[in-house]
Amino acid sequence: MSRPLPPTVLVLAGHDPTGGAGLIADSEAITGCGGWALTVPTALTVQNCHDVERVLPADPELMCHSARALEAFSIGAIKLGLLASEATLLAAERIIRRFPGVPVIADPVLKAGGGAELSTAALKRLYVDRLLPLVDILTPNRFELAELAPEIDESEDDTARAVALISRGCQAVLVTATDDPLPGNSGQVVNTLHSPDTTRQWQWPRLAQRFHGSGCTLASAIAARMAVGERLPTACEQAQHYTWQALSNAFEPPSGQHLPGRLPRSRL
């Protein structure tokens, strides 16, 4: 017996062959949070659980055609991941503008977990100028937050940087501290939601391992929860709970960062 399709999330992101991050991670997180992922690749990558070796941006026209072919679906949210060239970023902007009113959740992937640079100064400026005004919630870690708001003096705190990005048109910013603990909070992961209406903060016990794809998981989980109709603060809270559980049940590869366990799996 057929069933109705769950709320859909259009995902524009890169492909990570490990499944830890990128489109595979996005699809698993969206499924795990009650949605259905429609995926448009923005890049192919050569990487493992240590670092990214090479990025090949997708053809921007193919991205637009792929998204256009999916317009029969009722899109509940849009999730943005890796945009590794100016052409693919501008293609993402064109795609978003075809879905007015649909919430946009953006994970600004600027650097790989292993340290490889995935963006440029020009690309970051274009991200702020062209995409931020279209974004409902941005989910940077503390490094990405500082990179996107370089005009804020280093002595200023994360709040000043988040406010600067909101002033550029972004509706809300969820700053994550998974990779870079806040001073005095080494044992906790402190995530802070900034918006014109509210500021909320959550604390989660810090896990000992290093993870590949925690940011993808969180942003996609938020997108799925917003697609099913949750308000932003609730979606952020539910997505964090889901992400922490996925990291708590992570898999250990032969070497490198652990891979989040985003879906329940039967015992063999």
CA angle 90, 159, 151 (to 5 degrees): 55
Percent pLDDT > 70 in the chain is 95
- Encode pLDDT of 209-235 as tens digits: 999 999 999 999 999 999 999 999 999
Tokens at 193, concatenated: 């939601």
Domain edges within the chain: 8-248
222-235: b (≥16 Cβ within 10 Å) or e = bbbbbbbebebeeb
pTM over 0.75: yes
166-198: b (≥16 Cβ within 10 Å) or e = beeebbbbbbbbbbeebeeeeeebbbbbbbeee
Q: Are strands 8-15 and 75-80 parallel, antiparallel or unpaired?
A: parallel
Q: What is the pLDDT of residue 58?
A: 97
pLDDT confidence band for 113 (50 / 70 / 90): confident
Sign of the CA dihedral 184, 110, 165, 75? negative
What mean pLDDT comes out for the span 19-26? 96
**Consecutive H or E run containing 175:** strand 173-175
Q: What is the pLDDT of residue 185?
A: 67
What dotted CATH number matches 8-248?
3.40.1190.20
Q: Are strands 8-15 and 36-47 parallel, antiparallel or unpaired?
A: parallel
Q: What is the pLDDT of residue 268?
A: 45
What mean pLDDT comes out for the span 259-267? 80
- Encode pLDDT of 126-157 as tens digits: 999 999 999 999 999 999 999 999 887 766 68
Distances (CA, A) of 214 to 1, 14, 141, 184, 195: 36, 15, 10, 22, 22
How far apart, in whole angstroms, are the C-alpha atoms of residue 164 and residue 52?
Answer: 30
Strand ranges (E), 107-166: 137-138
